[in-house]
Structure 1
Amino acid sequence: MSKVVSRGVGAVSGMLGGALAGAIFKQVWKFASGKDDAPQATSEEYGWGEVLLAAAVQGAIFGVVKAAIDRSAARSLHQATGK
């Protein structure tokens, strides 16, 4: 039973984490570049440097948010179930 609960919590926290990371990245990019949207990899109007920088920042933010949410969910589940 706890395996099923753990997977459900993991799925929900993953979706929430992705949405939160996306919102944080959008605000960070807007602050850093002054532009509303980050460059898309397929867009011709941006150079390699700006596209790769945006991808690196987005990946770092996603990784930190995912780790924080996963850790928090694991601790909460452990406290609730003792496992």
Structure 2
Amino acid sequence: GLKQSGRMWYNRLSEYLLSKGYVNNAICPCVFIKKSSTGFVIIAVYVDDLNIIGTQKEIDDARTHMKEEFEMKDLGMTKFCLGLQ
């Protein structure tokens, strides 16, 4: 890919998440958080992989909205992340 393609992807994803009410974590810019009256959802981004953590309703809503905007594949529960189990 192009040198800037990773940055362009992050900018596109970040713009989308911020427009949907997510807050970008000041300490770790790859973490996006959204709270609601019924729960929360945290999206952790690593390159082109997303880990979605939170209460079930908010996770389901996040998946639904993101699948409408981006081509995504759900790989199920994370067993390993960055070499950690």
Bucket of the pairwise TM-score, normalised by the shorter protein: 0.3 to 0.5
Higher relative contact order (CA 8 A, sep 6+): 1
TM-score normalised over the length of structure 1: 0.34
Which has a greater percent of helix? 1
Structure ID, larger Rg: 1
